[in-house]
């Protein structure tokens, strides 16, 4: 699903956000992207949804090289990717329904289909009774569920989540993670950037570790407790 070859992300001024990142994600995988704040997790996700362009290297998403996408080509890529953020990024003056429907409207979906899909997804996520509410009247967990609904309503093959539980208490965080896990179970490739050890412990998935913009480890779930596969070297 995703291949990255020797990818650098260098900012104006010469500092590196990412350096020499090479990795492969299979279709249908669930991957945690982890590391301390500033390790490069968000930068990597931004590269994947075309918000940044790599300074060097190649990135392939679903077989398509997105390393040198022109601005006009970015929207088509984004319609294939759902993105979730820590701060939800909802429109406060729009209803829950409108916040979710925006993704389908932009895709040019028919009104009737928008109604059906948004309604059934919100119902599935336990927000059927909140459909006409504004985001400010919802709890943090509910707001994040709306954001997830917006990211999933297009049935994207790839879901990127940047600290999706960062603003939520532990119980709500698990609730959100269960929804993301459910999307994964339905076939979506998922990358969750997090540094929450509780989530990493509870959900046994592949972990890609970043440190100072470099790949510091890539650990498959079956290796937990055995060691960390790191840049081709296994450490005990």
Is position 51 an interface residue for other proteins (rule: CB under 8 A)? Answer: yes
Is position 171 an interface residue for other proteins (rule: CB under 8 A)? Answer: no
With CB under 8 A as the contact rule, the residue among 26, 36, 64, 75 that binds other proteins is 75
Nearest to 145 by CA among 100, 78, 110: 100
Closest contact distance (angstroms) between CB of 169 and other proteins is 25
DSSP line for the chain = -EEEEEEEEE-TTS-EEEEEEEEEE-TT-EEEEE-STTSSHHHHHHHHTTSS--SEEEEEETTEE-TT--GGGHHHHHTTEEEEETT----TTS-HHHHHHHHHHHTT--HHHHHHHHHHHHHHTT-GGGTT--GGGS-HHHHHHHHHHHHHTT--SEEEEESTTTTS-HHHHHHHHHHHHHHHHTT-EEEEE---HHHHHHS--EEEEEETTEEEEEE-GGGTTT-EEETTEEE-
Beta bridge partners of 81: 158
With CB under 8 A as the contact rule, the residue among 27, 89, 129, 204 that binds other proteins is 89
Closest contact distance (angstroms) between CB of 68 and other proteins is 13
Is position 49 an interface residue for other proteins (rule: CB under 8 A)? Answer: yes
With CB under 8 A as the contact rule, the residue among 38, 65, 68, 76 that binds other proteins is 76
Closest contact distance (angstroms) between CB of 149 and other proteins is 12
Q: Helix 140-152 and helix 111-124: axis angle, to 10°?
A: 140
With CB under 8 A as the contact rule, the residue among 36, 64, 65, 91 that binds other proteins is 91
Is position 72 an interface residue for other proteins (rule: CB under 8 A)? Answer: yes
Specify the residue, 100 or 209, whose C-beta has the smaller distance to other proteins.
100
The residue count for the chain: 236
Closest contact distance (angstroms) between CB of 236 and other proteins is 42
Is position 10 an interface residue for other proteins (rule: CB under 8 A)? Answer: no
With CB under 8 A as the contact rule, the residue among 27, 64, 106, 139 that binds other proteins is 106
Specify the residue, 103 or 191, whose C-beta has the smaller distance to other proteins.
103
Is position 68 an interface residue for other proteins (rule: CB under 8 A)? Answer: no
Q: Helix 111-124 and helix 96-106: axis angle, to 10°?
A: 130
Closest contact distance (angstroms) between CB of 102 and other proteins is 6
Is position 40 an interface residue for other proteins (rule: CB under 8 A)? Answer: no
Is position 105 an interface residue for other proteins (rule: CB under 8 A)? Answer: yes
Residues near other proteins, by CB under 8 A: 49-51, 71-72, 74-79, 83, 89-91, 93, 102-103, 105-111, 150, 154
């Amino acid at each position: 699903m995703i291949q990255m070859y020797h990818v650098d992300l260098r900012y104006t001024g010469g500092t590196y956000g990412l350096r020499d990142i090479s990795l492969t994600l299979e279709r249908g995988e669930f991957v945690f992207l982890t590391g301390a704040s500033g390790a490069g997790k968000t930068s990597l996700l931004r590269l994947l949804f075309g918000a940044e362009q790599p300074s060097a290297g190649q990135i392939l998403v679903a077989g398509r090289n997105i390393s040198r996408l022109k601005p006009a080509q970015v929207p088509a890529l984004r319609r294939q990717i759902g993105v979730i953020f820590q701060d939800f990024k909802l429109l406060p003056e729009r209803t829950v329904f409108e916040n979710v429907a925006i993704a389908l409207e932009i895709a040019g979906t028919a009104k009737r289909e928008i109604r059906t899909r948004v309604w059934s997804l919100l119902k599935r996520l336990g927000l059927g009774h909140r459909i006409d509410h504004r985001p400010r009247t919802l709890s943090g967990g509910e707001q994040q569920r709306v954001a997830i609904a917006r990211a999933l309503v297009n049935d994207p093959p790839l879901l990127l989540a940047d600290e999706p539980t960062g603003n939520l208490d532990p119980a709500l965080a698990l609730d959100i993670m269960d929804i993301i896990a459910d999307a994964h179970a339905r076939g979506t490739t998922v990358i969750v950037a997090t540094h929450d050890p509780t989530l990493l412990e509870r959900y046994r998935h592949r972990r890609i570790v970043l440190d100072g913009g470099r790949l510091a480890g890539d650990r498959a779930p079956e290796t937990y407790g055995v060691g960390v596969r790191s840049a081709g070297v296994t450490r005990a």
